[in-house]
Structure 1
Amino acid sequence: MGNKLYVGNLPYSFRDSDMEQAFSQFGAVQSAKVMMDRDSGRSKGFGFVEMGSEAEAKAAIEGMNGHDVGGRGLVVNEARPMEPRAPRSGGYGGNRGY
């Protein structure tokens, strides 16, 4: 197990500092990042926390998974590497036969 955690089902008002504060009770928080929508500036409802050690990460999972924050039960588990995705096509024209 690593020490980087995925945190889902966050309230949309949650920010990096809120997440750092919530997880600091389980040990040293190396980083806390709430993923934000670049268009609206609003939280996407998930983020990542990196704890100081595997033991602290395990304690954070046990303590925060299912924990109610703002009326939402958090989902906390070990972060997995990002899956490779097919390239996104976008912009004007594309393959539409213009």
Structure 2
Amino acid sequence: MAKKLYVGNLSYTTNQETLSSLFSAYGAVVSATIIIDRDTSQSKGFGFVEMEDDADTEKAIRELAGKEVDGRKIRVNYAEEKKPRPRNDFPRDGGRRFGSGERRRNGEY
């Protein structure tokens, strides 16, 4: 089964092809993804690599953790499952977003 790795401290210039080719030296890469900020379209400095074989995954972690890539020493370890966020059914301010109704009715807002 494929194992997902977290790759951190990436240079903002590192792209998915570089990441994929770096890990493919240690085994078959299923996917390589760099996380992009949706507002700026720039790298967030981390990504994920999925590899086919467990033994290859272990070897990649041992060999690549701390290795310099594009001028930065990268972090490589197993990715943790994303924890579900608690559901928030109510406003954080207790429903008083605009102050009291009296002030709104008097045109103070």
Name the TM-score, length of structure 2 as normaliser.
0.77
- The residue that corresponds to 2:10 in the other structure is 10
Correspondences of 1:38-57 after superposition (within 5 Å): 38-57=38-57
Q: Is the Cα contact below 8 Å between 2:6 and 2:79 reproduced in 1?
A: yes
What SS class does the counterpart of residue 25 from structure 2 fall into? helix
* Higher alpha-carbon Rg: 2
- For 1:21, the aligned partner's letter is S
Give the RMSD, CA atoms, in angstroms. 2.0
- The residue that corresponds to 2:91 in the other structure is none
Correspondences of 1:1-98 after superposition (within 5 Å): 3-86=3-86, 95=95, 97-98=97-98
- For 1:12, the aligned partner's letter is Y
Q: Is the Cα contact below 8 Å between 2:14 and 2:70 reproduced in 1?
A: no
1:32-64 CA-partner distances (Å, limit 9, x unpaired): 000000111110000100011111110110111
Equivalent pairs: percent with the same residue?
A: 44
- For 1:28, the aligned partner's letter is A
Unpaired stretches in structure 1, ≥5 consecutive residues: 89-94
Name the TM-score, length of structure 1 as normaliser.
0.85
Separation of aligned partners in 2, 1:59 and 1:7: 14
- For 1:35, the aligned partner's letter is I
- For 1:97, the aligned partner's letter is R
Unpaired stretches in structure 2, ≥5 consecutive residues: 89-94, 99-109
